[in-house]
Chain A
Amino acid sequence: DTAVSQTPKYLVTQMGNDKSIKCEQNLGHDTMYWYKQDSKKFLKIMFSYNNKELIINETVPNRFSPKSPDKAHLNLHINSLELGDSAVYFCASSQDGTAVYGYTFGSGTRLTVV
């Protein structure tokens, strides 16, 4: 049973399109995150949610809109995709915001904008 699952694994789309990435965790965690990993493997926080509430928006363009229908799901919708959005996007969860027990990551969604 996958703990944090995100779909799709690969996404290739044209500039200007709108796309969504879905994430679900079955760990009963309160906190979920979206991270972006660029071509140099640098992993940067985008958003964090706690019990469906937005806690952190790390100066992400408003073309990116996360939505958390319940604490087990955190989806990411991206409008008007740009070439620079190409990256691997990781969803993660932790028991709470302190992450004392660490993060559990999904296996990533590789987004390619052409």
Chain B
Amino acid sequence: TQLLEQSPQFLSIQEGENLTVYCNSSSVFSSLQWYRQEPGEGPVLLVTVVTGGEVKKLKRLTFQFGDARKDSSLHITAAQPGDTGLYLCAPSGDYKLSFGAGTTVTVRA
């Protein structure tokens, strides 16, 4: 079983600030997905990263996959209250995604 760590556990920032959350493991991932879960809802897929060193952008969100495919980060520029939620990473696995414990992000207006 691969150990997946997400950090920080909680993050509270003011609107307009930038933030980065991390997903790390001692194992190599074939691919990794990031999800955001808003209160009272299920997680929603944001991105899948596949290639080591890959960078993907989704508006103000930038996802990076480590060269060795053991880690990933999510950077949000000029955060807005709508970015509030639980950010989860999950390495791919046949017939199951094993999620990290998540980072709870709160963006204050």
Please give the number of chain A residues whose Cβ is less than 8 angstroms from any Cβ of chain B in the complex.
28
Residue among B48, B96, B104 with most chain A CB within 10 A: B96
The answer to whether A45 and B98 touch across the interface, beta carbons within 8 angstroms, is: yes
Question: Which of A13-21, A70-78, A92-100 binds B?
Answer: A92-100
The answer to whether B101 and A92 touch across the interface, beta carbons within 8 angstroms, is: no
Question: Which of B13-21, B51-59, B75-83, B87-95 binds A?
Answer: B87-95
Q: CB-CB < 8 A to B104: which residues of A?
A: 41
The answer to whether A31 and B95 touch across the interface, beta carbons within 8 angstroms, is: yes
Say yes or no: is B97 at the interface (Cβ < 8 Å to chain A).
yes
Interface residues of A in 71-89 (CB under 8 A from B): none
Which residues of B pack against A, CB within 8 Å? Answer: 31, 33, 35, 37, 40-45, 48, 86, 88, 92, 94-99, 101-102, 104
Say yes or no: is A103 at the interface (Cβ < 8 Å to chain B).
yes
Expressed in whole angstroms, the minimum distance between the Cβ of B64 and any Cβ of chain A is 18
Contact of B101 among A42, A99, A103 (CB under 8 A): A42
The answer to whether A103 and B43 touch across the interface, beta carbons within 8 angstroms, is: yes
Give the distance in Å from the alpha carbon of A110 to the alpha carbon of B44 in the complex.
Answer: 18
The answer to whether A107 and B41 touch across the interface, beta carbons within 8 angstroms, is: yes
Contact of B33 among A55, A90, A102 (CB under 8 A): A102
The answer to whether B86 and A41 touch across the interface, beta carbons within 8 angstroms, is: yes
Give the distance in Å from the alpha carbon of A102 to the alpha carbon of B93 in the complex.
Answer: 11
Give the distance in Å from the alpha carbon of A103 to the alpha carbon of B34 in the complex.
Answer: 11
**Which are the 5 A-B pairs with shortest beta-carbon distances?**
A105-B42, A102-B45, A97-B95, A48-B95, A43-B99
Interface string of A32-63 (1 = CB under 8 A from B): 01000000111111001010000110100000
